[in-house]
Structure 1
């Protein structure tokens, strides 16, 4: 099959009999779309082969180029299933296959939109070939901007930026956040695509432009090495302890073990206090417990509160405790982090309530309708109520930017803590219902946030992986999975703001606006082609 546009035919002359090649044959495009999803998957933890992310981008773009819109959507959906079904397989471990299947198919639908958009802008890419890499980049940013927000607040897992935790491109997070990193990954893929397609269109005879485009693809991550990042915060040094208490059993019934989970964290903290007294460990200025370390409301249950006070008094430092609080209304609960001080107990002025509860996991939207799909939604017996204020907590030794679990994936939730004065980013999480792959994917997000905002960061998990992250993204003292561990580290606080912190949402807005402009431009060009016969 061959194609030719009206613009390629000189005035007054008939179209030549032989035109440049059309789309890839379907027998090639379909395997390419499948390979795109698998390449993207391999770029994410726990595999971490980050150079495969641009390769996956290039394969999907090549498969969808010059195709009909529906065919582009179908190929994008194939890529999405190949990526998200295994990437999100941890959602299937303890809840059954239905949530995993539905979530994977929903996320694949956004890559179907990307495939359709890629097919739609083909006339632009063919007419102005130099813009093709940038077109690829802005379409990926636009797709992620939509997926990160819809439906029910979106689900940003699997953003291209989160595959680059060991890549030089991670440094770009300090300039424009996750959207800029995604754009750079997709731009690199677009350059690879341009090189491959130049060879395809030229039947293997155009080696100079092919080599130039390939060299440009290598130059993008190489150039990112020149972007400066801070190796350590410039501020006061504080000693922080992460307590990973572990749970008796992995799975959804960790709530039934809530007294044992609380006891694990209390006992591990008391053991830390003994090590400090014996001189084997530094005296911490702050101790961080993970999300769900006390699913017994310590503000209402005197025994639970007394146990936490026992730990705080023993270690002689405030503890940031991940708690589930009952209320404010009947049948409602809150997922929160509260500062528990030695001697005085809970500091209610330093309380953060999770602002972005997870739909169908922490609350059930449209419960009656959802129950028609699966009665499993009734496992969520009480809906978590979202908070309204950023997690800026003053401990005395440091100002914390607290985010809870999946919130680390949302740009604005993390940024609000930094603009609110946070000197140290803290991610409290509970991975007891998932696996080590999910935990490592989450740690990759923490690494990006540290670079994005120039802040030291840490992740505290009930079962792992916990660890500290420097402002340049390096991980220290990472724990094992499904183990008890206590790690203590001195970190230097940071107060400055990176360019990404200052500009906030605007890089994503600008890149997404360019994606919309490209779609509109392709519509105009297609109309002109139809009008020209």
Structure 2
């Protein structure tokens, strides 16, 4: 870091010229970037330490403040690798380190653009504001590019609890992430400004009156105050009565990519667990549910063409006396393979369907298969699924269920579309057996908790092997299962019909926050050109 303190407000005093750093001193920003990345990783589940995220960005802000563009890019890459390599380690389960490291490096390279941009705007007045906008613009890019984007690791997804979380109901994940980053960068500006004033010999009273210190303090605490102010308005209250929901976790024969080798066993496990529930209902031990949710891939045998599978699902639905949402791999009428959810009525059989719209690249489909086969033959294990085209809310015994299949929970628009379609309760059926006991399950559950607050909906998470969960609209977990054990969750879940500001606003909060970053970059370009002209 240079000895010059950051400015968050215009100043008439000329900037001090930094002394040439020693070789050892040049390593300090690199060390700060590494530590910042590791802290951000540690803030994510399975640990629940959301308060570490602002500290991470405070360190990252100190690392890139006042740096040249090339240095900002490099420090952003270092930060991204320290953060994403451990965060995405679950992607290497069963397929080895090459895909995991390739993904982490690719995502870190996109993130390094944020480091470049943040370094560039850090010379501006009120730089934490512009820098936070740059970060959100970079997250927006990562959520869309390449191959449809990979939003995993957005700052918001590490905030399933804490003071910032309620802001998701106002502006979705972009506003939630912006608040965390702004708080961290504001802390950087505050600390470095105070240090600079102290070194110049200013007394404590003058430091407290310094307008740059005041502005930095406001920027730091404003997101915290805003989150605390919104918190009382996040409600779990039912608006259209309640629905009694059963979540079935049947478990799988084995962990890893080959768990589907015994596809019939997976279906049988979920039928068996549902039949256990039916027995308890008949004995009066539990009340009959209004609806039953099975996870993604609970029937990888196509029930449309396999009569045995059709009969088993029908038997389970009739025994429990309620409609079941079944996750199945099916062949559509056009001959394509679909990851489909089927609304199964006890008497009528299969009805409405929802096809997963946002498929997982390198898993459910393989982009540029022949090219990537050069590096690994594992690419041939990827599927050839075709995405669905529209949102569908299942009407299950009078309750509108909005389905978001597994990986889709990472994408803002998919979840939002289901709520706008009329969903009173959200369901995120998932299959995490592929990733064994890795932290992936916990990271995805955190996303679901954020989505609950963002849209003011209870979120049901039926998973083949765990962790299945019932999440309240305030993001808290009411019930959950263990991993790799059959279980059933029963809960009276509030049906909600109102839409949060985030749901109504759609993509606009992200666009406006990204525009702040773009505006800061444009201002920095103008200032730079004016500076060169004046020097000439």
Q: TM-score range by the shorter chain?
A: over 0.9
Match of 1:337 in 2: 341
| Aligned with residue 470 of structure 2, among 468, 471, 481 | 468
The answer to whether residue 366 in structure 2 is matched with residue 394 in structure 1 is no
- Given the two structures, how large is their TM-score scaled by the length of structure 1? 0.93
Match of 2:416 in 1: 415
Match of 1:361 in 2: 363
What are the superposed Cα offsets for residues 77-108 of structure 1, whole Å, 9 maximum, x if unpaired?
11111111111111111111111011111111
| Aligned with residue 239 of structure 2, among 213, 218, 234 | 234
CA distance in 2, matches of 1:423, 1:361: 30
Match of 2:91 in 1: 91
1:15-54 to structure 2, matched below 5 A, reads 19=17, 25-54=25-54
**1:458 partner SS:** strand
CA distance in 1, matches of 2:17, 2:316: 76
CA distance in 2, matches of 1:323, 1:143: 35
CA distance in 1, matches of 2:85, 2:5: 38
Match of 1:56 in 2: 56
The total of aligned residue pairs comes to 518
Match of 1:154 in 2: 149
**2:525 partner SS:** helix
1:233–1:455 contact (8 Å) kept in structure 2: no
CA distance in 1, matches of 2:375, 2:71: 29
Q: Which moved more, 1:474-483 or 1:173-182?
A: 474-483
1:39-188 to structure 2, matched below 5 A, reads 39-124=39-124, 128=125, 131-188=126-183
Match of 2:319 in 1: 314
CA distance in 1, matches of 2:19, 2:315: 74
| Aligned with residue 267 of structure 1, among 263, 272, 292 | 272
Q: 1:100 to 1:4 in 2, by over 3 A?
A: closer
1:309–1:340 contact (8 Å) kept in structure 2: yes
Query: How many angstroms does 1:212 deviate by?
Result: 7.6
What are the superposed Cα offsets for residues 405-449 of structure 1, whole Å, 9 maximum, x if unpaired?
010110000111111111110001000011352111111111111
**2:296 partner SS:** coil
CA distance in 2, matches of 1:22, 1:168: 41
**2:426 partner SS:** strand
Q: Structure 1 segments of 4 or more deviating over 6 A? A: 1-5, 7-10, 20-24
Match of 1:346 in 2: 350
CA distance in 2, matches of 1:23, 1:351: 63
Q: Which moved more, 1:251-260 or 1:263-272?
A: 251-260
Match of 2:224 in 1: 221
What are the superposed Cα offsets for residues 12-39 of structure 1, whole Å, 9 maximum, x if unpaired?
xxx89x6467899422101100011011
CA distance in 2, matches of 1:155, 1:194: 31
**1:290 partner SS:** coil
1:233–1:456 contact (8 Å) kept in structure 2: no
1:270–1:315 contact (8 Å) kept in structure 2: yes
Q: 1:305 to 1:486 in 2, by over 3 A?
A: same
Match of 2:294 in 1: 289
2:291–2:397 contact (8 Å) kept in structure 1: no
1:64–1:115 contact (8 Å) kept in structure 2: yes
**1:477 partner SS:** strand
What are the superposed Cα offsets for residues 59-87 of structure 1, whole Å, 9 maximum, x if unpaired?
11211121121111111111111111111
Q: 1:21 to 1:165 in 2, by over 3 A?
A: farther
Query: How many angstroms does 1:473 deviate by?
Result: 1.1
What are the superposed Cα offsets for residues 289-344 of structure 1, whole Å, 9 maximum, x if unpaired?
000101111111111111111110110000000110124455x3100110111122
| Aligned with residue 255 of structure 1, among 240, 260, 268 | 260
1:43–1:51 contact (8 Å) kept in structure 2: yes
1:43–1:49 contact (8 Å) kept in structure 2: yes
2:323–2:397 contact (8 Å) kept in structure 1: no
**2:480 partner SS:** coil
Query: How many angstroms does 1:3 deviate by?
Result: 7.5
Q: Which moved more, 1:369-378 or 1:459-468?
A: 369-378
Q: 1:195 to 1:267 in 2, by over 3 A?
A: same
1:455–1:494 contact (8 Å) kept in structure 2: yes
2:236–2:494 contact (8 Å) kept in structure 1: no
Query: How many angstroms does 1:216 deviate by?
Result: 5.5
Q: CA RMSD for the aligned pairs?
A: 2.2
Query: How many angstroms does 1:254 deviate by?
Result: 1.0
Gaps of 5+ in 1: none
CA distance in 1, matches of 2:450, 2:17: 46
1:186-205 to structure 2, matched below 5 A, reads 186-203=181-198
| Aligned with residue 512 of structure 2, among 510, 513, 529 | 510
Q: 1:44 to 1:338 in 2, by over 3 A?
A: same
CA distance in 1, matches of 2:372, 2:159: 35
Q: 1:284 to 1:436 in 2, by over 3 A?
A: farther
Query: How many angstroms does 1:136 deviate by?
Result: 2.5
Q: 1:334 to 1:22 in 2, by over 3 A?
A: farther
